[in-house]
């Protein structure tokens, strides 16, 4: 049973560029959440997708957008990258809508230079 997978593992981008991160949820899960974790801090909630719609959003600008596909996989897009966007981006999946237990992927390390 595959857990949550994320790609790529590492990514280096230049300021102003755009980036797309990908996540496949754990088998049987249909809800995907994205988090940003800066060095030395706890993860910060970006948004959550269920039934291909963004259901909740944290305090992040519109430069951060996402998508969920019919197979429940998800993408996180960040436009006009800033140096401050450098972080570990974590994807978590859960079963069904509601405050259910979340399972996290290994993360994508994004470095903006």
Partner 1 sequence: KQEVTQIPAALSVPEGENLVLNCSFTDSAIYNLQWFRQDPGKGLTSLLLIQSSQREQTSGRLNASLDKSSGRSTLYIAASQPGDSATYLCAALKTSYDKVIFGPGTSLSVIP
Using the rule CB under 8 A, is 48 a contact of partner 1? yes
Counting residues that bind partner 1 (by CB under 8 A) gives: 28
Segment interacting with partner 1 (CB under 8 A) among 15-23, 62-70, 73-81, 101-109: 101-109
Which of 55, 61, 77, 79 contacts partner 1 by CB under 8 A? Answer: 55
Using the rule CB under 8 A, is 95 a contact of partner 1? no
For β-strands 10-13 and 108-112, DSSP reports them as parallel
Question: Residue 41 is encoded by which pair of tokens?
Answer: 């801090």
Question: Where does residue 65 rank: exposed (0-12), middle (13-18), buried (19+ CB within 10 A)?
Answer: middle
């Amino acid at each position: 049973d595959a857990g949550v997978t994320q790609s790529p593992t590492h990514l280096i981008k230049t300021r102003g560029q755009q980036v797309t991160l990908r996540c496949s949820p754990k088998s049987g899960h249909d809800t995907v959440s994205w988090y940003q974790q800066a060095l030395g801090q706890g993860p910060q909630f970006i948004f959550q997708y269920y039934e291909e719609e963004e259901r909740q959003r944290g305090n992040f600008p519109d430069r951060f957008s996402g998508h969920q596909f019919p197979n429940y996989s998800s993408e996180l897009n960040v436009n006009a990258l800033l140096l401050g966007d450098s972080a570990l981006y974590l994807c978590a999946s859960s079963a069904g809508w509601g405050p259910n237990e979340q399972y996290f992927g290994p993360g994508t390390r994004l470095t903006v230079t």
